[in-house]
Amino acid sequence: MNTQQAQIRFHSWRGFTLVELMIALVVAVILVTIAIPSFSNIVKDNRLAAAVNAMTGSIHLARMEAVRKNMRVVLCPSSNGSSCAASGGWSQGWIVFSDADKNNSFNDDGDSDPCENGEDCLLRSHDAIGGNITVSSTLGGRIQFSPTGMADSSTTGKIKFCDDRKEGRELELIASGRLRLVKNGVSCP
> How far apart are alpha carbons 63 and 100 in whole angstroms?
15
- Is the Cβ–Cβ distance between 173 and 151 less than 8 Å? yes
Q: Check binding of 78 to Ca ion (CB under 5 A).
A: no
Out of 7, 23, 49, 109, name the contact with Ca ion by CB under 5 A.
109
Out of 107, 125, 134, 146, name the contact with Ca ion by CB under 5 A.
107
Q: How far is the CB of 79 from Ca ion (least distance, A)?
A: 18
Out of 20, 101, 127, 164, name the contact with Ca ion by CB under 5 A.
101
Q: How far is the CB of 133 from Ca ion (least distance, A)?
A: 29
> How far apart are alpha carbons 49 and 105 in whole angstroms?
29
Q: How far is the CB of 78 from Ca ion (least distance, A)?
A: 13
Range in contact with Ca ion (rule: CB under 5 A) among 99-107, 127-135, 142-150, 170-178: 99-107
> How far apart are alpha carbons 145 and 73 in whole angstroms?
5
Q: Check binding of 113 to Ca ion (CB under 5 A).
A: yes
- Per-residue binding letters, 119-158, with Ca ion (x by CB under 5 A): -x--------------------------------------
Nearest to 104 by CA among 87, 115, 123, 120: 120
The alpha carbon of 183 is separated from its chain's Cα centroid by a whole number of angstroms, namely: 14
Segment (H or E) for 21:
helix 18-69
Q: Which is nearer to Ca ion, 20 or 109 (CB)?
A: 109
> How far apart are alpha carbons 72 and 69 in whole angstroms?
8
Nearest to 90 by CA among 144, 27, 161: 161
User: Which of helix, strand or coil describes residue 145?
Assistant: strand
Out of 1, 2, 111, 118, name the contact with Ca ion by CB under 5 A.
111
Range in contact with Ca ion (rule: CB under 5 A) among 24-32, 60-68, 118-126, 132-140: 118-126
> How far apart are alpha carbons 150 and 41 in whole angstroms?
37
Q: Which residues bind Ca ion (CB under 5 A)?
A: 99, 101, 103, 105, 107-109, 111, 113, 116, 120
